[in-house]
Structure 1
Amino acid sequence: MARTRLTPERETELYAAVLDLLREVGYDALTMDAIAARTHSSKATLYRQWGSKPELVVRAMRDNKPVGPGQMDTGSLRGDLHAMVSRSDDCKMEQDSALMRGLLHAVHDNPDLHQALRELLVEPEMNGLAELMRRAVDRGEIAADNPALDFVPHMLVGAVVARQLIEDRSIDRSFLLSYLDAVVLPALGL
């Protein structure tokens, strides 16, 4: 589907409105009519620009994460991982976690949302994380055959999900930074 060019400011404004609506009503109750009304756009424009509700929602989520892990390069793996966590404040981190929990629930009933999440959010994040790990291997920080390399994404996602389930507490930078130092980095031999 051909996309017309929106200004970056307008696109960011529109994405922010989509995320606000998503937080208010959840994915299943979110409609393109509501998005059009909130953003003072026509539904035709939204469909022409993004094609579907799943793509618009996931692109809004992606825009909410302007720096991917592959772009972190402090010169050390610990520095890169800490920079990745530190780029967001605690409030935004909790909002993002709540959005992802809601979307993960909606994925079970919506294959288009699942596909959009995989293609537009999960795979780019995993590719960026793989690049971050490759640089650490190239610098000699991690052995290329370290079996924990394959499980870094699982460890990171697990930390985010487990905190809420186990402790009934929101995710925050302090927890994630401690988790990186106590779990992820030692598993990688650092």
Structure 2
Amino acid sequence: MTEVTTSRRSRFTPEREAEVYAAVLDLLGEVGYEALTMEAVAARTRSSKATLYRQWGGKVELVVAAVRHNRRGGIAGVDTGSLRGDLDALLAHGDDSAMERSSSLMRALAMAMQHHPDLGRVFREQLVEAEMDEFRRVLRRAVDQGEIRADNPALDHAAHMLIGAFVVRGLLDDLPPTRAFLRAYVDAVVLPVLVARPTTPGRHSPGPSS
């Protein structure tokens, strides 16, 4: 199996692969996942359809590979010494225009996954699981450093908060996500929830006056 994979991968240089991935993402933005075909990718990149199939196996694998390539330089290897610094480093990758494009792409793929379980499965196996492992590593380090309580129930929902803000801002505000917006969201919502300390026994927040 390794020899076959190596043989497939050797057909394209890294530069040529990048061209194919860019074409796939452009087509996704233009026609959506449903209408994207291997024939269209072959025509856009002046490749043969048979070569694309040999290289990637099929449409699902090619689309996920293109998305993964576009998301290079995520949180892997980030270690600034603080949770706030690590989250800020995560948000520093890519400019606002790239972030807007990525948000639109993720919304489109999320819709497609509802009708194509194979796309969702490969997307989780090849992209989501690795990124979640890295994000959990960042959170575990924050726990070890004493920034987050180990029993804080918000630990299980931190990724949902960040991804939710990234994806739904366009739906709620009709605005794209930006680094400034996400940094403000992290400071106002994510960090206060994660670093919250238990209330001292015997002391309670004052309720409304009667």
**Same-fold call, TM cutoff 0.5:** yes
* Contact 1:70–1:130 (Cα < 8 Å) also in 2: no
Q: Does 1:106 align with 2:112?
A: yes
Q: Distance in 2 between matches of 1:181 and 1:46?
A: 44
Tell me the residue number matched to 1:64. 70
Tell me the residue number matched to 2:168. 162
Q: Distance in 2 between matches of 1:94 and 1:129?
A: 21
Tell me the residue number matched to 1:34. 40
Tell me the residue number matched to 1:177. 183
Q: Could you tell me how far 1:117 is from its partner in structure 2?
A: 1.3
Q: Which runs of 5+ in 2 are unaligned?
A: 197-210
Q: Distance in 2 between matches of 1:42 and 1:20?
A: 18
Q: Which has the larger radius of gyration?
A: 2
- Flag as ranges the 4+ runs of structure 1 deviating above 3 A: none
Structure ranking higher on relative contact order (CA contacts 8 Å, 6+ apart)? 1
Tell me the alpha carbon deviations over residues 1-35 of structure 1, each in whole angstroms, 9 at most, x when there is no partner: 63332322221121111111111111101000010
Q: Distance in 1 between matches of 2:92 and 2:176?
A: 16
More off after superposition, 69-78 vs 26-35:
69-78
Matched residue of 1:26: which SS? Answer: helix
Tell me the residue number matched to 1:54. 60
**TM-score, normalised relative to structure 1:** 0.95
Matched residue of 2:195: which SS? Answer: coil
Q: How does 1:131-150 map to 2 (within 5 A)?
A: 131-150=137-156
Q: Distance in 1 between matches of 2:137 and 2:17?
A: 28
Give the counterpart letter for 2:122 in structure 1. A
Q: Distance in 2 between matches of 1:107 and 1:169?
A: 24
1:86 to 83, 88, 92: 92
Tell me the residue number matched to 2:157. 151
Q: Could you tell me how far 1:187 is from its partner in structure 2?
A: 0.7
Q: Could you tell me how far 1:124 is from its partner in structure 2?
A: 1.5
Q: Could you tell me how far 1:70 is from its partner in structure 2?
A: 3.0
Give the counterpart letter for 1:24 in structure 2. E
Tell me the alpha carbon deviations over residues 83-130 of structure 1, each in whole angstroms, 9 at most, x when there is no partner: 111111110001001011111111111111111111122111211111
Q: Distance in 2 between matches of 1:39 and 1:112?
A: 25
Q: Distance in 2 between matches of 1:162 and 1:22?
A: 19
Q: Does 1:186 align with 2:192?
A: yes
Q: Does 1:77 align with 2:83?
A: yes
Q: Distance in 2 between matches of 1:68 and 1:83?
A: 9
Tell me the alpha carbon deviations over residues 34-81 of structure 1, each in whole angstroms, 9 at most, x when there is no partner: 101111211111111111111110110011011132322111111110
Q: Distance in 2 between matches of 1:159 and 1:95?
A: 15
Aligned residues with identical type, % of pairs: 59
Q: Distance in 2 between matches of 1:87 and 1:160?
A: 14
1:122 to 119, 122, 128: 128
Tell me the residue number matched to 1:10. 16
Number of equivalences:
190
Tell me the alpha carbon deviations over residues 128-187 of structure 1, each in whole angstroms, 9 at most, x when there is no partner: 111111121222221222111110111011112331122111111110000001111111
